[in-house]
Amino acid sequence: MPKTWRTPSNIYPTLTYDDAPAAIAWLCRAFGFEKRFVADGPDGTVMHSELSFGPGVIMVSSAKPAQKRVSPRIQDVANQALCVRVEDVDAHYARAKAAGAAITRELRDEEYGSRGYMAADPEGHVWYFGTYDPGEYWES
């Protein structure tokens, strides 16, 4: 029986890559995403895809320059970062590092209670993985 997907979020980041098939494979191997769906495009491109991490979903596609959607490596900058909550951030860090993720900020305890690290994927998208849960509230 095929897997049924339910996604409790209402925000779905969309990331653009020059080599989307390689990025999808890398995100699954290094960061633990699970491929849900891929719509292939012409010449080995990806028109649309969905990857899961727990209840979260990201969408990945090949570059679409006519729509001004390009990989961050085109300008060697990133204007955003994605924050992903993980249960065992130490194990996640070890997995990402072993897979060759570029660690941009080492694993550490944050002043606001999270434990996490930052990494860049092969095309320059910035990721924060940690125990932070934006839905939790705390007293100051």
Per the domain annotation, does 121 fall within a domain?
Answer: yes
> Which of 12, 7, 25, 32 lies closest to 87 in space, CA to CA?
32
Please indicate, yes or no, if residue 122 is contained in any of the structural domains.
Answer: yes
Domain that holds residue 120: 14-66+78-130
Q: For residues 7 and 31, which has the higher predicted lDDT (pLDDT)? A: 31
pLDDT, residue 94, reads 98
pLDDT for position 74? 82
pLDDT tens readout for residues 61-107: 999 999 999 999 888 777 789 999 999 999 999 999 999 999 999 99
Q: What is the pTM of this model?
A: 0.87
Cβ atoms of 117 and 105 within 8 Å: the answer is yes
Question: Per the domain annotation, does 5 fall within a domain?
Answer: no
* Residue 83: CATH number of its domain: 3.10.180.10
Residue 4 lies inside a defined structural domain of this protein:
no
Structural domain total, the chain: 1
b/e map 84-110, b = 16+ CB within 10 Å = bbbeebeebbebbbeeebeeeeebeee
Establish if 104 belongs to a structural domain: yes
Please state the separation of Cα 53 from the chain's center in Å.
8
Residue 57 lies in a domain: yes
Domain contains 85: yes
Residue 26: CB atoms within 10 A of its CB come to 19
